[in-house]
């Protein structure tokens, strides 16, 4: 959808002419490719961008909220999990040369909200989503969903520290004459 890029482009000619002036922007835009690991913004969904632009002497500050729906498989049982990223934003845009290296770049009279939206949404996606805090995951032996059945297999994980110690003990035994 080519529209998304236009929707997120805001004409700021008026703001640049009059410092301390404000402009509100409320748009819903669809952006492709927003994902971190297995978590992604629901394909085809729209992201709510609800911000106010204010011109300062050294740029334009964008404050407000960005809201996106995400989905991902549960880290333990792979069941689909969904949620909402609701991010408060406060970011600066500056024309080049920027004096603030964290500022987004402002090109001419068009302020492009897309890089800001992408950055804040991606940072908010869960790295290890769970369907619920006590999800029991899948059986490591037969793959059964332990939230639904008890297959009877021993689920005690082998602690890697013990495994390392056992390896060390074996080596010591081998080396001892």
Q: Is 74 near Zn ion (CB under 5 A)?
A: yes
Cβ-Cβ contacts under 8 Å for 82 (sequence gap 6 or more): 42, 69, 70, 71, 72
Q: Is 142 near Zn ion (CB under 5 A)?
A: yes
Backbone angles phi, psi at 33, to 5 degrees: 75, 25
Q: Which is nearer to Zn ion, 141 or 168 (CB)?
A: 141
Stretch that binds Zn ion, among 26-34, 42-50, 70-78, 85-93 (CB under 5 A): 70-78
Under rule CB under 5 A, how many of the chain's residues touch Zn ion?
12
Q: Is 131 near Zn ion (CB under 5 A)?
A: yes
Stretch that binds Zn ion, among 48-56, 59-67, 84-92, 129-137 (CB under 5 A): 129-137
Q: Is 39 near Zn ion (CB under 5 A)?
A: no
Half-sphere exposure of 53 (CA within 13 A, CB side): 27
Q: Is 72 near Zn ion (CB under 5 A)?
A: no
Q: How far is the CB of 150 from Zn ion (least distance, A)?
A: 9
> How many angstroms separate the CA atoms of 42 and 83, rounded?
10
Considering only residues 76, 85, 103, 113, which one is a binding residue for Zn ion as defined by CB under 5 A? Answer: 76
> How many angstroms separate the CA atoms of 79 and 71, rounded?
10
DSSP string of 37-94, one letter each residue: TTEEEPTT--EEEEEEEEEETTEEEEEEEEEEEEEEE-TTT--EEEEEEEEEEEEEEE
Considering only residues 1, 123, 141, 163, which one is a binding residue for Zn ion as defined by CB under 5 A? Answer: 141
Q: Are 26 and 50 contacting, i.e. CB atoms less than 8 angstroms apart?
A: yes
Q: How far is the CB of 78 from Zn ion (least distance, A)?
A: 7
Positions that interact with Zn ion (CB under 5 A): 74, 76-77, 79, 131, 135, 139, 141-142, 144, 151, 153
């Amino acid at each position: 959808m080519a529209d998304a890029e236009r929707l997120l482009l805001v004409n700021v000619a008026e703001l640049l002419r009059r410092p301390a002036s404000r402009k509100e922007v409320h748009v819903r835009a669809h952006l492709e490719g927003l994902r971190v690991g297995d978590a992604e913004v629901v394909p085809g969904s729209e992201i709510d961008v609800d911000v106010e632009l204010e011109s300062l002497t050294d740029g334009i500050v964008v404050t407000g909220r960005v809201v996106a729906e995400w989905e991902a498989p549960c880290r333990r049982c792979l069941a689909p999990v969904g949620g909402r990223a609701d991010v408060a934003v406060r970011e600066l845009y500056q024309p080049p040369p920027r004096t603030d290296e964290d500022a987004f770049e402002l090109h001419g009279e068009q302020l492009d909200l897309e890089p800001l939206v992408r950055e804040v949404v991606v940072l908010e996606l869960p790295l290890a989503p769970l369907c619920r805090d006590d999800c029991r995951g899948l059986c490591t032996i037969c793959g059964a969903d332990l939230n639904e059945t008890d297959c009877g297999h021993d689920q005690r994980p082998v602690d890697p520290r013990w495994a390392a110690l056992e390896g060390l003990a074996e080596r010591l035994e081998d080396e001892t004459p």
